[in-house]
Structure 1
Amino acid sequence: MIRIKSIFSKLFLTYIVIIVVSHLVLAAAYFLLFQTSLTGMHLHPDSVRDFNQLKHLFALASMISFTITGLFTCYLSKKITAPLREMNRAAYEIAKGQFDRKVNVTTNDELAQLGDTFNYMAQELASLDQMRKDFVANVSHDLRSPLTSIHGFVRAFLDDTIPDARKRHYLTVMKEQTERMIKLVNDLLDMARIEAGQLEIRPDIFNLSELVRLVVARMEPDFLFKQVNVELISDESEDILVLADLDRIDQVIVNLIQNAVQFSPPGSTVVLLLKKEKQAVVSIRDDGPGIRQEDLPIIWERFYKADKSRTKKAGTGLGLSIVKHIVALHHTDIHVESEVGQGTTFTFTLPVAPNKAKYGE
């Protein structure tokens, strides 16, 4: 069976069929009517009565032809436009929040392609809506937990129920909780700026090797708390100078290290590798649980969380999305390699500084 894939061809052939059927019906009706009336007719050039009878027969035949072809055209038109009507109904239901609505695709033409695209759109909207709900739940949890903790400690301080020897410890806990909330709010603001296209970078030449060393030193308390070792490896004899936004690259490195430390078991080692090729290359490898291959393409999406059960404090799912956007603004890319049970490696590149003399100016 030949399947016509072009809707233009379908409509064109439909019109041809309508015309052919119309003429066939007209001819058949004309023949049948004249065949039954021919014996009683005496045609003559001057016979008005016979000529009027001929016109009446022809008009009747035309009406029969018009009726049959009209019904046939109506049937074909409804059949061809049925997918569009179904998509219209589905779009109305999706607009009301029923994202599980799908369009049944039974043809193989442009309407089928439109139907497939429509179903894909509905699927993505459903996924986005679910991620939004998860995000609201995650943010609510991540805000409520530190606020509840801080509120409890403040009440304890006001009630003088905390011994003086433990006050510094609880003040440190409160400081950690406020820092956690500050990071969450900063991530939300960054994501809002990214979505609005307002996140800008200000490239300048700086020492990437020195930046990584400073970040590692600054995050040492986190490493000690998580009981994770951090090793910086660089075979370059000289420091690597790059042309990028120092503050944003600092944010990228911190997010990736925090991510690696978060999922690394106690006693393991997070490795930071620096090397200079055509571009500066930064790799961060951990010995964590790894990421499933089917999840690798979606880890950059907003609100994505590997730990959906929330048995771990794994953030709100914004960090990697922000990292991806920052790296993209530098016109480079970031890659991830991972195997379940074998750890994960994130690698991104930065443009090398055009010349060292400019950095020294």
Structure 2
Amino acid sequence: MIRIKSIFLKLFITYIVILILSHFVLAIVSYFLLQNNLTNMHLNSEDFHQMKYLFVLASIISITITGLFTYYLSKRITAPLREMNRVALHIARGQFNQRVEIQTRDELGELGETFNYMTQELAGLDQMRKDLVANVSHDLRSPLTSIHGFVTAFLDDTIPNERKRHYFTIMKEQTERMSKLVNDLLDMAQIESGQVEIEPVIFNLSELIRQVVARMEPEFANKKLNVELISEEAKDIYVFADPDRIDQVIVNLIQNAVQFSTNDSSVEVILKKEEQAVVSIRDYGPGIKQEDIQSIWERFYKADRARTKKVGTGLGLSIVKHILALHQTDIQVESEVGRGTTFTFTLPIAQNKSNRHEKK
């Protein structure tokens, strides 16, 4: 059994078969009609054969002309499919700059537009992958080079004993930096693959913030920062959310504030109770340009135009955005160059805090 793989040939042969069948049916019907009405039409046998000959000749000419037109029409209809096949082969080789030329507005045209959109998204993913590799390589290479240099110096006994503790501290900071990068990458991978699910319960948000600020005290001391927890509420605020993920959000936002604050400046953590619980983290660092604010949620934003001189993984704010999206809430940014930046997000107030232990 012969299998035709080309859709063009399938379409062309289908048209030809339909054309021949239509002429065959027409010939049979005409034959019987003429045969039964020869006397009424005053036609003799010779005239009848002459008509059959003319009819066959006309059918051959009709099939030939219609076949040529069908060939052109089939080729034109299937041209977008052949073009998409050509572009798909280039994309398979990693050439994502290819596009399908769309000349129609029918279903094939819509398919071509969808194909171009898919190509554009694949090109974006490929560029994101390249950027990810480049940024991760850079962020891992810098601390590894530093640690390698210090270890070599220790082995060569070129570092005085009184300076060894100082360099050990630097090495510890570099290993913590690499550890945070790896953890952030794992978190981002889980979030984007949909593997992260929140488990909301009722918990004391005020106490959570106090605990976060307390355990981050060494980071504040290193930069001599004055960290203030500001809340005008007489009672603690209870919310309904995932405490572990909200802890991660607050830690990332405070670390971001610390990272971009100058020594001896202040960081404020503000907690208010309105229709929802409102948490704000304010720093008095360099601020962000208005045209750059939308970019801060991108992965490895630190490698872009703004804040390039700072260290960090560049993933913290992206993780914050994703976690709050899972909580069906958003985060707002207010920033002024030279005056600092404030991040604000909200969480739903718990209606019945007495059930918090049962929900846990």
Pairwise same-fold verdict (TM > 0.5): yes
**Worse-matched range after superposition: 231-240 or 262-271:** 262-271
1:130 aligns with 2:127: yes
How far apart are residue 227 of structure 1 and its match?
A: 5.7
Deviation, structure 1 residue 172: 1.1
Contact kept in structure 2, 1:44 and 1:50, CA below 8 Å = no
Q: Match for 2:82 among 60, 82, 85? A: 85
Aligned-pair Cα RMSD in Å: 3.3
Between the aligned partners of 1:320 and 1:69, the Cα distance in structure 2 is 65
The correspondence for 2:46, drawn from 42, 46, 49, is 49
Matched, 1:208 2:210: no
Deviations 1:278-334, CA, capped at 9 Å, x for gaps: 3222222344341544761x5444x34243379424434432232223223333333
Residues 146-196 of structure 1, C-alpha deviations (whole Å, 9 max, x = no match): 222222222333333222221221111111111111111111222232244
Contact 2:177–2:312 (CA under 8 A) maintained in structure 1: no
Residue pair 2:287, 2:335 contacting (<8 A) in 1 also: no
Corresponding residue number in structure 2 for 1:65: 62
Q: Distance in 2 between matches of 1:173 and 1:277?
A: 44
Matched, 1:166 2:176: no
Where 2:318 maps in the other structure, the secondary structure is helix
Matching residue of 1:253: 250
Residue matched to 2:7: none
Are the aligned partners of 2:238 and 2:353 in contact in 1 as well (CA < 8 Å)? Answer: yes
Residue pair 1:131, 1:304 contacting (<8 A) in 2 also: no
Deviates more, 1:210-219 or 1:340-349: 340-349
Alpha-carbon distance, 1:228 to partner: 5.1
Distance 1:82 1:323, change over 3 A: same
Displacement after TM superposition at 1:58 (Å): 0.7
Letter paired with 1:282: V
Q: Which moved more, 1:350-359 or 1:88-97?
A: 350-359
The alignment covers a number of residue pairs equal to 323
Matched, 1:120 2:117: yes
3-state DSSP of counterpart to 1:99: coil
Kindly provide the CA deviation profile for residues 97-127 of structure 1, in whole angstroms up to 9, marking residues without a partner as x.
Answer: 1111112233334433333332232222222
Contact 1:99 1:125 in 2 (8 A): yes
Q: Deviations over 1:43-73 (max 9, x none)?
A: 9857333212211111111111122222222
Quick one: structure 1 residues 52 and 227, their matched pair in 2 at CA, closer, same or farther if it must change by over 3 Å?
farther
Q: Which residue of 2 aligns with 1:234?
A: 231
Distance apart, 1:229 and its partner CA: 4.6
8 Å contact from structure 1 (residues 285, 345) kept in 2: yes
Relative to the length of structure 2, the TM-score reads 0.77
> What are the ranges of 5 or more consecutive residues in structure 1 without an aligned counterpart?
1-14, 27-42
Q: In percent, how many aligned pairs have the same letter?
A: 71
Residues 342 and 79 of structure 1, relative CA distance in 2, 3 Å threshold: farther
- Is 2:182 the counterpart of 1:185? yes
